[in-house]
Amino acid sequence: MHSARIAIDPSFTVGPVRRETFGSFVEHLGRCVYTGIYEPGHPSADAQGFRGDVLDLVKELGVSTVRYPGGNFVSGYKWEDGVGPAADRPVRYDLAWHSTETNAFGLNEFMAWTKASGTEAMMAVNLGTRGIQEALELLEYSNAPGGTALSELRRSHGVDEPHGITFWCLGNEMDGPWQLGHKTATEYGRLAAETARGMRQMFPELTLVACGSSSSNMPTFGEWERIVLTEAYDEVDLISAHAYYREENDLPSFLAAADDLDYFVASVAATADAVGAARKSPKKIGISFDEWNVWYHEEENPGIITGGEWPVAPRMEEDRYTVADAVVVGNLLISLLRNTDRVHSASQAQLVNAIAPIMTEPGGAAWRQTIFHPFALTSRFAAGRVLRVAIDSPSYENARFGSSELVDAVATHDADAGTMALFVVNRALDAATSIRLDATAFGDVSLVEALTFSNDDVHWRASEQDSTSVLPTPNPTAALADGALTIELPPVSWSMVRLTVA
């Protein structure tokens, strides 16, 4: 058995636990919208066509913000197509995912869905094939109370009150050659800055996100952020980061994916701070990690559709996640939390069916994938302040990172509620790891519960027929004595320990 030590102290904090860290993403990709969140005629559907079984799971998942409508989809999207009487809406080709978009579900349906799900909208504007004027028109339609052409148009569509959307993404992945309207960093930075200025002239208190790199592996990574922020530093609040990971016949490297996420955050923060220093600006740019997940892109059928067929809501990118995938997702959440001083929001991509924690069948069941569980528990119990965690752990060799620690962890402390939560992963493949947590700095400490998610078969996957055989279960090895917690973590596992503190 391996062994590791963890020490935490309530005096040493990173920053607040931000509810925006637990965001998600709904794009018109595959079955995320149609037969995902929206399926009129489903036995659980409400009068608006929203699947009730999915709404229940979204609430259980603990989602805060939801990014919409893309993603690659937004770079060719005309928001006007998705408002007004459904029978009058045009049917279009979606070039991003080679599909047909019926526009039966659009802006007003999405905003009604956010109310039903208790989430906040994170709206994206099209800066690929469109620009400043169209972004301002969408903003006026969405947020103006009345008395203008577009606000009155919204009211004629049956939405009297403004949506009041305050969180906006200025395009999507404009660094990527695959993106409709792909631009150089200078071209995009200028457009983002001008769009932001215009939007703030209408509503000054918006939170605006500029496009950062779509991957830390992009050849323009770093330089893209520097140029974009040189153009738009004063106009935006956050810059985005996107990262996806997958097991590529190299489980040890995959389990250390959070090492890359930490590197990504540190690099973007350093670049943003360098731009700020050159401008002699006291302002700090935050990071919106508004796409992240495990994604076996194009590796599992069906993948990207090509040719003469343009199907409506095809089955695509419907990854079926393993126990190991869930451990990595839990570890990525650990990374996002420990970087809460710079990561101000995050959106797991996506919510339903397409690279998602929730799966559905048309007319049938909805169920939880393995990655659902670490997200739901972290969202539910991470509260208060994120603590700095000192870890003394053995390391292990892997092909991608060279050397990584076997144990990774983060802790949160809610002083008002008198609670603390530890989220911890064991990356070891060969043996359990014994953890000793020194919590004497908290005074009187009591153990509330310890849950572990693991399985002897790390490639076990949930399915419609069996989504409950492997769940987070109580860890009987957890014990507390003299302010020290001890617990044994199985190989390839994610765990949560909850304590009450004085």
- Percent of the chain residues past pLDDT 90, beyond the cut: 97
The pLDDT assigned to 397 comes to: 97
pLDDT tens-digit readout, 479-496: 999 989 999 999 999 999
What are residue 51's DSSP bridge partners? 45
What is this structure's pTM? 0.97
Tell me: cis bond preceding 311? Omega within 30 of 0 counts.
no
pLDDT for residue 301:
45
β-sheet bridge partners, residue 360: 366
Average pLDDT of span 80-94:
97
Complete DSSP assignment for 427-475:
--SSS-EEEEEE-GGGSSEEEEEEEEE--SSTT-B--SS-SSSS--EE-
Two tokens at 282? 């006291």
Exposure of 453 in the CB half-sphere (CA atoms within 13 A): 33
pLDDT of 302 higher than 90: no
Residue 303 confidence (pLDDT): 54
Q: Residue 47's pLDDT band (boundaries 50, 70, 90)?
A: very high
Q: What is the CA radius of gyration of the chain?
A: 23
Average pLDDT over residues 219-234: 98
Q: Is the pLDDT at 424 greater than 90, yes or no?
A: yes
Please give the helix or strand (H or E) that residue 188 lies within, else none: helix 185-202
Domains annotated on the chain, with CATH: 2-10+385-501 (2.60.40.1180), 26-381 (3.20.20.80)
Average pLDDT, the chain: 97
**Exposure string (b/e) for 342-363, b if CB count within 10 Å is 16 or more?**
bbbbbbbbbbbbbbbbbbbeee
Strands (E), 179-302: 207-210, 238-245, 286-294
On whether the CB atoms of residues 362 and 318 are closer than 8 A, the answer is no
Where residue 8 falls among pLDDT bands split at 50, 70, 90?
Answer: very high
Contact 51, 45 (CB under 8 A): yes
Alpha helices in 129-184 (DSSP H): 132-143, 149-156
Give the pLDDT of residue 298. Answer: 62
Catalytic sites, residue numbers: 173, 291
Q: Are 228 and 185 in contact (CB under 8 A)?
A: yes
Helix/strand/coil for 276: helix
What share of the chain in percent tops pLDDT 70? 99
What 3-state class would DSSP assign to 147? Answer: coil
Question: What pLDDT band is residue 227 in, cutting at 50, 70 and 90?
Answer: very high
Mean pLDDT of 420-444: 96
**pLDDT, mean of residues 447-461:** 98
Position 297 scores a pLDDT of 79
| pLDDT score, position 306 | 75
- Collapsing DSSP to helix, strand or coil, 86 comes out as helix
Q: For 336-381, what is each residue's pLDDT tens digit? A: 999 999 999 999 999 999 999 999 999 999 999 999 999 999 999 9
Average pLDDT over residues 40-67: 98
Residue 502: its pLDDT value, please? 84
With a cut of 80, say whether residue 305 has pLDDT above it: no
Predicted confidence (pLDDT) per residue in 146-173, tens digit: 999 999 999 999 999 999 999 999 999 9
